[in-house]
Amino acid sequence: MKIGRLIARTIIGGLFIGHGTQKLFGWFGGPGLAGTEQMMAAIDMQPTRPNAVAAGASEAGGGALLIAGLATPLASASLIGTMVTAIRKVHLKNGPWATQGGYEYNLVLIAGLLALADGDPNDVSLDRALGLPLTGPQWALAAFGVGAAASTVAIEMGRRNSARVASAPPSTVPDVAGDPVTGES
């Protein structure tokens, strides 16, 4: 058994589960769904709720799959997608170094995920138990390609939806409690 891969899958997957549940449920001092929606609004990822849920679910679900060693390239692709989005929407403008808010950490995670998608998951994995031969450079490249493409689609949809929200006419429904038709409270 290759213990290094099991340790890497467990640590990387566990941290992504934590990060995803911070976004979804506010666990581990995270912002929860409401705070994640605010973050999505700040980086023009409209509509905010579906993007917040997608980011949290991709991280928590991808992390769980990674720990289990199940569909490792798919798990890697979902996590790579969130990291590429984080780089493009938040960290790229700050340069590479994490000390300046850069993308160094995200890039290290992407490299680790590519290595896990490329290599044999080891004896303690559902991929191995189920006889799924999902290893090799083609799977690593596919994980990167799918993750990067998903990031591009999400960012483009967010950009288009942000423009649509900005150009929408103001609502004629009063923003008060009561009957919106009669205006009675």
Residue-wise pLDDT tens digits, 126-171: 999 999 888 999 999 999 999 999 999 999 999 999 887 777 666 5
Separation CA 8–CA 76 (nearest Å): 12
Listed residue (65, 69, 68, 141) closest to 110, CA to CA: 141
Helices (H), the chain: 3-25, 32-42, 48-68, 72-86, 104-118, 126-129, 137-167
Give residue 69's pLDDT: 94
Tens-digit pLDDT profile for residues 74-102:
999 999 999 999 999 999 999 999 999 99
Separation CA 80–CA 120 (nearest Å): 19
* Per-residue pLDDT at 174 exceeds 60: no
Could you give the count of Cα atoms lying within 13 Å of 123 in the half-sphere of its Cβ? 3
**Average pLDDT value for residue range 110-133:** 91
Give residue 171's pLDDT: 54
Average pLDDT, the chain: 90
**Average pLDDT value for residue range 165-180:** 56
Q: pLDDT above 70 covers what percent of the chain?
A: 90
Give residue 20's pLDDT: 98
List of long-range contacts for 55-58, beta carbons under 8 Å, 24+ apart: 55/20, 55/23, 55/82, 55/85, 56/20, 56/21, 56/22, 56/23, 56/24, 57/20, 57/24, 58/20, 58/82
Q: pLDDT above 90 covers what percent of the chain?
A: 78
